[in-house]
Amino acid sequence: MASVLEIKDLHVSIEGKEILKGVNLTIKQGEVHAIMGPNGTGKSTLSSAIMGHPKYEVTQGEVLLDGENVLEMEVDERAQAGLFLAMQYPSEISGVTNADFLRSAINSRREEGQEINLMQFIKKMDKQMEFLEMDPDMATRYLNEGFSGGEKKRNEILQLMMLEPKFAILDEIDSGLDIDALKVVSKGINEMRGENFGCLIITHYQRLLNYISPDFVHVMMQGRVVKSGGEELAQRLEAEGYDWIKQELNIQDEAAE
């Protein structure tokens, strides 16, 4: 049966300030959802809160994975349960090679005694790196250290393809990519698409959605999903910006605090 990720009336605060003010979103495996929205509206906050970043305090609402309360799980348990986040700004980890990182990430999601065999792992990594047109040296370099912005994003997709999560949240996976890299990254995401994979793509630009045709497009403003639709919504945003939505829904600009 297809898994479901449900975000219900989610309120999240950072250092006492409420950023998410009741987000509702349901993603089923097999679906690709895109979220667009102005800077600072809480898109990255939503992804961090789902993954359990300690700075983000959930004050109300729930996140359920097949009915199980994700918010009660530790960060590693969320990953084991099948959630994956490609961060807007991937962190660098010195002293840990990309290959070692990936292998332990795969194994930490498996039961003891079910660890991936080294040869199997190398074969799979080689195959996916070739698919993503990555320099083989990337496997032995320290995780993200000195990687260019675009290389980091491509590496996030390598992680995605190696870990094969149930659900992925891809936060601005297209930022900083050159035109060819955008195609490669999209190819990776499309390769993952299927009945065992659900995806939430956070993006500012409709151009990514030319390559990855989303099933649903949502607009986030002031800490809420205010409008949902199909690809035509992304096209209209690209052409006209966000003002028309504010007018249509009578959303006032937030007063500066």
Segment contacting ligand ATP by CB under 6 A, of 37-45, 114-122, 127-135, 243-251: 37-45
Nearest to ligand ATP of 122, 251 (CB atom): 251
Nearest distance in Å: CB 39, ligand ATP = 3
- 42-61 residues near ligand ATP, rule: CB under 6 A: 42-45, 55
Nearest distance in Å: CB 172, ligand ATP = 6
Nearest distance in Å: CB 12, ligand ATP = 9
- 90-129 residues near ligand ATP, rule: CB under 6 A: none
Segment contacting ligand ATP by CB under 6 A, of 35-43, 107-115, 155-163, 248-256: 35-43
Strands (E), the chain: 4-14, 17-28, 32-36, 56-65, 68-69, 83-86, 93-97, 142-143, 167-171, 198-202, 216-221, 224-229
Nearest distance in Å: CB 254, ligand ATP = 10
203 is a contact residue toward ligand ATP (CB under 6 A):
no
Among 41, 98, 159, 222, binds ligand ATP (CB under 6 A): 41
Contact call for residues 157 and 86 (beta carbons, < 8 A): yes
Nearest to ligand ATP of 80, 175 (CB atom): 175
Contact call for residues 65 and 82 (beta carbons, < 8 A): yes
To which residue do tokens 């960060």 refer?
Answer: 75
How many angstroms separate the CA atoms of 143 and 39, rounded?
28
Nearest distance in Å: CB 138, ligand ATP = 26
CA pseudo-torsion sign 17, 22, 26, 31: negative
Among 7, 19, 160, 168, binds ligand ATP (CB under 6 A): 19
14 is a contact residue toward ligand ATP (CB under 6 A):
yes
Q: Which does 123 bind (CB under 5 to 8 A by kind): ligand ATP, Mg ion, none?
A: none
Burial of 27 (0-12, 13-18, 19+ CB in 10 A): buried
Nearest to Mg ion of 85, 129 (CB atom): 85
Q: Which does 45 bind (CB under 5 to 8 A by kind): ligand ATP, Mg ion, none?
A: ligand ATP
Give the number of other Cβ atoms within 10 Å of residue 56's Cβ: 20
Which of 19, 33, 16, 31 minimizes the C-alpha distance to 61?
19
Segment contacting ligand ATP by CB under 6 A, of 21-29, 36-44, 139-147, 185-193: 36-44
Q: Which does 250 bind (CB under 5 to 8 A by kind): ligand ATP, Mg ion, none?
A: none
Q: Which two tokens stand for residue 125?
A: 């990594």
3-state secondary structure 79-111: HHCCEEEECCCCCCEEEEEHHHHHHHHHHHCCC
Give the number of other Cβ atoms within 10 Å of residue 16's Cβ: 7
User: Which residues would be at the binding site for ligand ATP (CB under 6 A)?
Assistant: 14-15, 19, 37, 39-45, 55, 88
